Amino acid sequence: MTEMIAFRLATPERWAEVMLAGVFKGEPHDIADGFIHLSAADQVEGTLLKHYDQHQRLVLAEVDLAALGETVKWEVSRGGALFPHVYGEIPVSAVISVRHLLRNDEGDWVLPKDLRSAS
């Protein structure tokens, strides 16, 4: 894979803990799987709806995969697509930006334009 950017969703409270710690070591499901789950830009919406739809507010961390080096592996996951998995920790220094995601008045997630599907 040549994509050098990936994304991680988290609750604002959890991401505040990450920022204080200076490193993201994963959530319990990441630890159980042995790697940290990330999504490419075109996978964020599917991940949001499948795994985080019960939340009202989230943050979306944009991660520089080049900064993580050999710890990143693109592996087959949901629907046979290749997803970025990190076999290690993600230092906050590898986080390019953090955006807040909210719901609109109808209760639907409002994604940044660059991450919306073409539907």
Query: What local confidence, expressed as pLDDT, does residue 2 receive?
Result: 52
Residue-level pLDDT at 79: 86
Domains of the chain with CATH codes: 5-104 (3.20.170.20)
CA–CA separation, 63 vs 7, rounded Å?
6
Question: Mean pLDDT across the chain, nearest whole number?
Answer: 92
Beta bridge partners of 72: 86
User: Which 8-state DSSP code applies to residue 105?
Assistant: T
Phi-psi category of 98—alpha, beta or left, where left has phi over 0 and alpha has psi -120 to 50?
A: beta
pLDDT mean over 34-54: 93
pLDDT at residue 113 in the model: 85
Mean pLDDT across 26-52:
94
- What pLDDT does 1 receive? 47
**What's the pLDDT at 85?**
97
Locus of tokens 């290690």: 88
Instruction: With a cut of 80, say whether residue 24 has pLDDT above it.
Output: yes
pLDDT digits (tens, 9 = 90+) for 66-119: 999 999 999 998 888 899 999 999 999 999 999 999 999 999 999 988 886 654
